[in-house]
Chains A and B, each alone.
Chain A
Amino acid sequence: MDRLRVIGPVAELEIFTPGTPEEALAAIRAAPEGEVAVLAGGTDLLADLEEERSRARRIVSLRRLPWRTLDWTGPSLSIGSTLPLRALELDPGVRSRLPGLYEAVHAVGSVPLRHRATLGGNLARSAPASDLIPVLLALDAEVELFAAAGVRRLSVDRFVRASRVTAIAPGELIRSIRIPEARPSAFRWQRVRLANDISQLAVAVALSPSDRRWRVAVGGIPPRAIRLAEAATALGTGAPAEAAVRRAGEIAARAVPLVADRRASEEYRRRLIGTLLARAVASALLPREGVG
């Protein structure tokens, strides 16, 4: 039977599925910049294509690259850029040793979405509402960029520049994301709906066992998630007193540049920072097996 087709005969889009990083870079290089989209899961890209927000004419899929990896080396974790988020979520080590990362991954979309979405894709697309970027900031994560000339490492803080803007250079691909050490950590968000929603505001905290200092990051805010050094300092070392947590919250609320959009007002976001920060700190300090 001659079945119906939704697309064609003129295909506006082409797709390449290279087997090596070198081939992938060649396929990217061969198309004009701005007309090529790298596919690493595609849950964000395909929504853009559907709603005609993307100008891509060529898609280069990374699904055949050997980067669906998850490697613990002592206290540090290396996550291959094309590993589905669901694999990260179900890894027992992530759940016990990086609870904030687990919580953030679990907060993304839905189970079927997390079966396709990847950490590399999330970073490369760097949506301002990303739930993953704040926790990567709090964990001092580094992006490992592959290029023909070699590999370079960049902190997530320096990699994510603005809404949908990253420091990736032409000829580079995200190979992996490295988290230097397991940390007591937590991710707290406020949303209109519990699941399958976008955070109005999110706070990630982590306590480094090596320097005993806190890291604090805030997300859900355009143009990008940010690290809050002063608020982290106010938390002191180790378990903070209640007053220190309150002070850190006040500092954070002052420090974060906030805007209003259709998800929340500026005042409401500001009000949430201290609350979510205190809740995240309390959660991070809960005893867990295997942390550190």
Chain B
Amino acid sequence: MTERRLVLTVNGLAASLADVPAGERLLDTLRWRLGLKGTKEGCRTGGCGACTVLVDGESSLSCLTLTHEVDGCAVTTIEAIASDPVGRSVRDAFEREGALQCGYCTPGFVVALTGLLKERGRSAPLEELLDGLQGNLCRCTGYVAIARAVRAAREATA
């Protein structure tokens, strides 16, 4: 009954994966099997948000997701986030507002905010967007520039 082959759509391309061990996390599949290292490994226990990716458009913690659980799903990572118009706006807002320093938490923030804007649409109040990013930790920026980027991205997608 254990599937021997998984088929995922990763960043718009079909990925057919053979012999994925049951315990393999999406984070490791992306980074080590597929070489998509833009998704960052932080705490591996859901506490930092650095590994956030979109699964069927919804933000997900790839460290707490078994790859077998996303068989048949579409996964979007930071590498392709800008091919989505909302993702592009978010990316540009982070760049324009200088909302990054070391950059390690940045992919998680960009993907999580893209997911929120897509999920909640243009009517989402700013407060709800900021609240929705509280699972993403940043140690460099003090979140000030990130909050500016959230505001800018919201206005750009409204």
Contacts and interface: CB of A to CB of B under 8 A. Distances in A.
Interface in A1-60: 1, 3-8, 11-18, 27, 39, 42-43, 46-47, 49-51, 59
A46 B24 contact: no
The size class of the interface chain A forms with chain B is 35 or more
Given A111-B132, A112-B52, A42 B66 contact: yes
B59 A112 contact: yes
A282 B55 CA distance: 39
A171 B35 CA distance: 41
The size class of the interface chain B forms with chain A is 35 or more
A11 B34 contact: no
Interface string B32-69: 11110000000011110100100100111101111011
A1 B34 CA distance: 10
A5 B2 contact: no
B21 A195 contact: no
Contacts of A12: 23
A3 B33 contact: yes
B58 A115 contact: yes
A113 B69 contact: no
A90 B115 CA distance: 14
Given A6-B24, A16-B1, A110-B49, 20 more contacts: A3-B32, A7-B24, A12-B23, A13-B22, A17-B68, A17-B71, A18-B1, A39-B69, A42-B69, A46-B25, A61-B69, A110-B135, A111-B112, A111-B135, A112-B52, A112-B60, A113-B46, A113-B61, A113-B64, A196-B47
Interface of B: 1-3, 19, 21-25, 28, 32-35, 44-47, 49, 52, 55, 58-61, 63-66, 68-69, 71, 112, 115-116, 119, 131-137
Interface of A: 1, 3-8, 11-18, 27, 39, 42-43, 46-47, 49-51, 59, 61, 63, 86, 90, 109-113, 115-116, 194-196
